[in-house]
Amino acid sequence: MKFIIKGISITILFILLTSCKDNQAHSEKAVQEPIKVEILAPNELSIDKTVKLQVKVTQANESVNDADEVEFEIWKGDDRDHSVMLPARNVRDGIYEVSRSFDDEGIYNIQTHVTARSMHSMPTKQVVVGDVNKDVQEEH
Query: Is 123 within 8 Å of 110 (Cβ atoms)?
Result: no
- Of 103, 101, 110, 104, nearest in space to 132 by CA: 104
Provide the pLDDT for residue 135: 47
Query: Is 81 within 8 Å of 129 (Cβ atoms)?
Result: no
pLDDT < 50 positions in the chain: 135
d(CA 75, CA 80): 5
For the 35-131 domain, the top CATH level (class) is: mainly beta
Query: Is 58 within 8 Å of 45 (Cβ atoms)?
Result: no
Q: What is the pLDDT of residues 110-126, one digit of tens each?
A: 999 999 999 999 999 99
Provide the pLDDT for residue 98: 98
Q: Which residues make beta-bridge pairs with 126? A: 109
* Helix extents (H) in the chain: 2-30, 134-139
Contacts of 135 (CB under 8 A, 6+ apart): none
Q: In terms of C-beta density within 10 A (0-12 exposed, 13-18 middle, 19 or more buried), how is residue 132 classed?
A: middle
d(CA 126, CA 124): 7
* Helix extents (H) in 46-115: none
